[in-house]
A and B are shown apart, each in its own frame.
Chain A
Amino acid sequence: MLFSSIPFLYYFLPAVILTYFFLPMAVKLLLKPLCKRDGLADKLCLKLRNAILLVSSLVFYGWGEPKLLTLMVFTIVLFYGCGLAIGWCKRTLFRRLWLIVSIVISVALLGFFKYADFFVDTFNSVTGLSIPLLRLALPVGISFYTFQCLSYTIDVYRGNVASQKDPISFGAYVALFPQLIAGPIVRYIDVARELDSRTHSWDGIALGLRRFLMGLAKKVIIADNFALLMKLFRESDQPSVLFYWMYAIAFMLNIYFDFSGYSDMAIGLGRVFGFNFIENFNYPYLSKSVAEFWRRWHMSLGSWFRDYIYIPLGGNRVSKARWFLNTLTVWALTGLWHGAAWNFVLWGLMFAALLLIEKFVPALQKLPSFFRHVYVLFLIMISFVLFNAESLTQAGTDIIGLFGLTGAPLVTKETLYYLGSYAVLFVMGILGATPLVKNTGLRLNQTKVGAIMEPLVLIILLLICTGYLVDGSFSPFLYFRF
C-alpha cells in the first residue's frame, strides 16, 4: 500500500489511528478497577497498542503482496529467536554463532529474492551459458527491514542493547508500517525505549500529521510531476541537449522529493504513534563536497554502512591499501543495496572514487564555495543519471547526451514547450531543496499570520494532494524497488 493513495489516506490510516488510540483507552477504562498495581493498566495499554501496530503493519505489508507475509513473519521469528539466544548465551562462541545464523539466513534471503537473477545473468554473460532466470517478485522493503533486523542482532551481540523479550513488541518494531518499506532505517537501539514506554500527546499527533502532510505534498505535487517530465523525456523521439539536462535535473529533484517526502511521512507517522525516528535528509544539495553530500543524503543508510561494515572492516585506521579496499567494498555494497544491476555497482564505485579523490586532493576544499557547490551538484547529477538508467548503454547515452555528443539538436520546439510548462515546478523544486521554505515557516511561526497560515496551507495541501490522487496520477515510490 502506498502512503500517497486514497486507500491509505482515507481508509487504512484513519482506521489504524482510531483503533490505536480508542481501543486501548476503552480497555484501560475497563481494566483500571481490576488493576491494583500502579501503572499496570498503562503497561497493558501499551502492549495492546504494540499489538495493534503489529497487526496493522502486517495488513499494510500484506496488502500489496499477501503471499510474502510469510517471509515477513519468518524474518520476525528468526531475528526474535536469534536476539533472545544471543542475549541468553553467556559464551562468546555461542553468541557469535547465533549472530552468524541471523546474518547468514537474512543475507541469504535478501540475496535470493533480490540478487539471484543478477548473479545468474552475470554468470550467464561471463560463461556464455543460459541458465534460466528465477524472475522472483522482489519483496517490498526487504533491503530496509533486513538491515534494521541486522542492526538489532549485531547491537545485542555487541552488548549495546538488551534483547527484546516481548515478541509482539519486536514484531511491531520489524514490521512498523510507517518506515517498513522505504525507511529511514530505524535501528532497534534507537526505538527500544519507546517500544516499551512511550507517551502520546495532542502536540505530537499534530506535529506528526503536519510532517506527514508536508511529505505527502513533496511526493504528490513535486516528485510525481517531475516523474511525468522524465516519462516525457523517455518518450521523446528526438530529445535535445537541453532536454537531456532537464531530465537529469528533474531526476535529481524527483529522487530527492520522492525519497525525502517518504521519509517525512514516515517520521510524521512515527510521531503520531509516539516514536521519534531519526532524520534521513538534511538538504543534501547544499553540500560543498561529496563527503558532505553523504552526510546529508539518506543518513540512516550511510551511518548503517559506517557502523556495521566500514568500521568493523577497520575503517581508516588501517594501511592505505586496506583503507582503499574498505572504501571500495563499502561503496560497491552501497550501490548494490540500491539495486541488483551493474549501473548501481558503478554508481557506488563512482562515489568511492570521488571520496578518495577528495581525500587525496585537499586543494578541492580550498576552492571558492560557489565552485564547490557547482562541482558537487554536477557530479551528483551525473551519478543520478547513471543510477536511473535501465542499462549501462542507456546511462552512457544519457550522459553523453548532456554534452551534445549524441548528435541531438541543442534545443527543439518540444523542449522549449516542456521547459515553459515545467518552469514553475523547477523553481518550486530548487527552492524546496533549500531550507528557505522551512526557515520562512519558522520565522512566521510566532506571528499571527503564521498561526493562520499553517493550518490553511495544510488544508490546501491535503485538498490538492487528494485531487491529484483522485485524478489518478499514480506513481509508485522509487525506493520501493530497493
Chain B
Amino acid sequence: MDNKKIRAIGAAVLAVLWVGLTFFSWFGPAKELSTSERRPLKQMPAITMESILDGSFMKDFEGFTLDQFPLRDTFRSIKALFHNYAMNQSDNNDLYISDGYIIKQEQPLDPASVEHALSRFQFVYEKHLKDKASNIYISLVPDKNFYQAEPSGHLSLDYATMFNMVKNRIPWAMYIDITDTLSLEDYYRTDTHWRQENLIPTAQKILAEMGAQGLKPEDFTTETLDKPFYGVYYGQAALPVKPDTIQMLHSAAIDQYKVYDCNEGKPVGSDLYDMSQLDSMDLYDVFLTGAKKGTMVIENPNGTPGKELIVFRDSYGSSIAPLLVSDYAKVTFIDIRQYNPAFPNPFLNAEGKDVLFLYSTLVLNASQELK
C-alpha cells in the first residue's frame, strides 16, 4: 500500500472518530448521575432570551457538554493515565497512587481553616460543655497522606503544626494521639476513610485514655458486604484500581445496641449498619448512615448505668462508633456540619458526661462546613 493510501485511511479514521464523538455528543441520551463521582450530571439548560443575554445559558451549556460527553469516564482515565505515566506527573488533581492506595496529597496546611475549626470547638465548649462535662478529650484522625507522603516522596501538610495548634488552642481538652495505632493498611484503598475492622487498637487507645473499659479483639467477628466499594477517590482519580470491600464488625454486645436517629426532635429507631444504604452512591454510609445525620444516639443495655459519652465527630466517627460505646450506657454522636450548635439540642446535655472531639485532619484543613 502506498503512503498516500495509508495517510488517507488514517485521516478517515480520525474523521470517523471526530464525527462519531460529535454525533453522540449531539444525539446521545443524557445521563442523570455519575456513579463514579457521586453527583448528578448537568442537563441541557433551557433556552431563554434572558439566559442568552446574561450569558448563563452558554455557561450552563458548557457544563452540560462536559458532563454528558460520550465515554466521559474513559476520557478522564485517558487523561489520568497520560498525565501520570507519559508526563510522569507525581499527582493527578492532587491524587496519587502508592502501594495500590489512592491518596489525596492534602497540602499545604491552612492555618486559617484550622483556626476556624478550633473556634467552632471553642464555641461548643463555651455554650454546651463548660462547667458541665466531666472530662473532655480531643483526637485527630490522620489522613492517608500522613503515612504515605514521606515514603512515596509526596508533599504533605505540616501535621506537627496542626497538632500543636489543637493542643495549644484547646487547653480544656486532653489530647489523645492515635497516629501510632494506625497505618496505611487501616484505610480503604479507594476511599478517604478508615476500615472499621482495623480500628480495634485505635478504639482501645482512645478508651484507655478516657478511662473506659477496653475491647477484646476476640469478641468480634466480621461480616463482609458482597458489593464492591468504589470509594470517593476512585471516581476522582479515574485510574484503574481494584475496588474495596466493606467489612462490618459484630459482637454479642454490639448486636444488642439500640440506635436512634435524633434529627427530627425525637428519637427514631435506626440501624448501626444501615443496609438501606447498599443502593446509595456511597457504601460507607452503611456505618451509622455515614455523615448525613446531625445527632445519633447509641444505647448500650450492657453499659454502666449513668455513664455517658458525647462524641463530636465527622464521618470517620461513623465507623468507629460501635467500638467507642464500650462500657458507656449511652453515646451521643453529634456532627456540627449538620447541626448548628448555636441552636438548642435536647440530646446535647453534657452534665457529668465524658466528651470526645474526634475529627479528621482533612476536615480541619478544610473546615468551612463546620457550623
Contacts and interface: CB of A to CB of B under 8 A. Distances in A.
Interface of A: 1, 5-7, 10-11, 14, 63-67, 206, 209, 225, 237, 413-414, 417, 420-425, 428, 446-448, 450-452, 454-456, 458-459, 462-464, 466-473
21 contacts: A1-B58, A14-B19, A209-B14, A237-B108, A421-B91, A424-B87, A425-B87, A447-B3, A452-B6, A454-B10, A455-B7, A455-B10, A456-B10, A458-B14, A459-B14, A459-B17, A466-B75, A467-B76, A471-B79, A471-B93, A473-B79
Contact of B25 (A5, A10, A67): A10
B65 interface: yes
Contacts of B108: 237
A14 B18 contact: yes
Given A421-B90, A451-B3, A462-B18, A11 B10 contact: no
A470 B75 contact: yes
Given A422-B89, A455-B9, A458-B14, 20 more contacts: A6-B65, A7-B61, A10-B22, A10-B25, A14-B18, A65-B55, A417-B90, A423-B88, A424-B89, A455-B13, A459-B10, A459-B13, A463-B75, A464-B82, A466-B21, A467-B82, A469-B66, A470-B76, A470-B79, A471-B79
Nearest to B79: A467
Interface string B1-31: 0011011011101100111011001100000
Which 3 residue pairs spanning A and B have beta carbons closest together? A455-B10, A467-B79, A451-B3
Contacts of A456: 10
Interface in B111-162: 153-155
A462 B14 contact: yes
Contacts of B91: 421
B53 A67 contact: yes
Most buried by A among B4, B11, B25, B53: B11
B12 to A, nearest CB: 9
Contacts of B69: 6, 10, 466, 470
B355 interface: no
B87 A470 contact: no
Contact of B75 (A413, A447, A467): A467
B65 A7 contact: yes
Contacts of A448: 3, 6
B72 interface: yes
Most buried by B among A417, A456, A467: A467
B21 to A, nearest CB: 6
Nearest to A220: B79
B238 interface: yes
Contacts of A447: 3
A451 B65 contact: no
A64 B79 contact: no
Contact of B72 (A5, A417, A421, A470): A470
Contacts of A451: 3-4, 6-7, 10
B6 A10 contact: no
Contact of B79 (A1, A206, A464): A464
B202 to A, nearest CB: 29
B17 A471 contact: no
Given A417-B154, A451-B6, A424 B88 contact: yes
B369 interface: no
A458 B13 CA distance: 10
Contacts of A1: 58
B17 A468 contact: no
B52 interface: yes
Given A458-B14, A467-B78, A470-B79, A10 B65 contact: yes
A221 to B, nearest CB: 8
Interface in B53-111: 53, 55, 58, 61-62, 65-66, 69, 72, 75-80, 82, 86-91, 93, 108
Nearest to B73: A470
B66 A6 contact: yes
A173 B77 CA distance: 41
A424 B86 CA distance: 8
A65 B11 CA distance: 35
Nearest to A238: B108
Contact of B155 (A6, A413, A423): A413
Contacts of B58: 1, 63-64
Contacts of B26: 10-11
A470 B76 CA distance: 6
Given A420-B90, A455-B10, A462-B18, A66 B55 contact: yes
A245 to B, nearest CB: 19
Contact of B238 (A422, A450, A471): A471
A64 B61 CA distance: 12
Contacts of B78: 463-464, 466-467
A420 B77 CA distance: 22
Contacts of A458: 10, 14
A469 B63 CA distance: 11
Nearest to B52: A66
A50 to B, nearest CB: 24
Nearest to B61: A7
A472 B62 CA distance: 11
A280 B354 CA distance: 72
B27 to A, nearest CB: 12
Given A11-B26, A64-B55, A67-B53, A468 B79 contact: yes
B3 A421 contact: no
Contacts of B62: 5-7
A472 B83 CA distance: 14
A7 B78 CA distance: 20
B65 A417 contact: no
A459 B16 CA distance: 10
A463 B75 CA distance: 7
B55 to A, nearest CB: 6
B294 to A, nearest CB: 32
A157 B288 CA distance: 80
Given A10-B21, A11-B26, A452 B10 contact: yes
A464 B52 CA distance: 31
A225 B91 CA distance: 12
Nearest to B26: A11
A446 B3 contact: yes
B154 A455 contact: no
Given A66-B52, A459-B17, A471 B75 contact: yes
A341 B88 CA distance: 38
A7 B69 CA distance: 10
B197 to A, nearest CB: 34
Nearest to B24: A10
